[in-house]
């Protein structure tokens, strides 16, 4: 572990992200990001910087990966899994999009805004699908 790769005391990679949503004409849409490095569709998330809180990291990652600002809602919990041979812990919040525009970058080449059912089908990992179920019932 280095200063650029902070983790918990047991070496767990600490990360944070959001289930980003917006309402368009009364219809809820969920933002998914495509990461070409892994060829997967997921919610915006990423590793925390040194000394960075999980919430600050989640907001930063949403902006870096999607180009959108957001207003956070309730915490959706923490997901733990193995990634690249290390334990990873990602804390997520529900977050409503509040402006911005996507521009492809080195981590994310595409975003999609989809209704919850279509987003659930598009997500690559079951752990990401479960996060949609944690949103308030009026969002899904």
Ordered per-residue pLDDT tens for the chain, 140 residues: 344 455 666 789 999 999 999 999 999 999 999 999 999 999 999 999 999 999 999 999 999 999 999 999 999 999 999 988 899 999 999 999 999 999 999 999 999 999 999 999 999 999 999 999 888 555 55
Where does residue 24 fall: left (phi above 0), alpha (psi -120 to 50 degrees), or beta otherwise? beta
* Residue 68, domain member (yes or no): yes
| Residue among 139, 19, 124 nearest 76 (CA) | 19
Q: 71 is in which domain, residue-wise?
A: 13-139
Confirm whether 2 is domain-assigned: no
Res 6: pLDDT = 55
Q: What is the CATH number of the domain that holds 54?
A: 3.90.79.10
Give me 6's structure tokens.
């902070």
Tokens of residue 2, six digits? 């280095």
Cβ partners under 8 Å of residue 115, min gap 6: 27, 28, 29, 30
Q: Is position 4 within any domain?
A: no
Identify the pLDDT of residue 139.
Answer: 57
- What total number of domains does the chain contain? 1
The answer as to whether 6 is a domain residue is no
78 within some domain: yes
Dist CA 39 CA 121 (whole Å):
15
């Amino acid at each position: 572990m280095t200063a650029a790769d902070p983790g918990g005391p047991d070496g767990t990679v600490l990360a944070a992200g959001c289930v980003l949503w917006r309402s368009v004409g009364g219809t809820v849409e969920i933002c998914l990001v495509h990461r070409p490095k892994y060829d997967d569709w997921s919610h915006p998330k990423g590793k925390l910087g040194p000394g960075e809180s999980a919430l600050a990291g989640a907001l930063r990652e949403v902006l870096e990966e999607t180009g959108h600002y957001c207003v956070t809602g309730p915490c959706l919990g923490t997901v733990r899994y193995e990634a690249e041979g290390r334990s990873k812990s990602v804390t997520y919040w529900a977050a409503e999009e509040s402006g911005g525009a996507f521009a492809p970058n080195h981590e994310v080449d595409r975003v999609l805004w989809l209704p919850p059912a279509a987003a659930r089908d598009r997500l690559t990992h079951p752990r990401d699908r479960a996060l949609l179920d944690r949103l308030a019932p009026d969002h899904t």
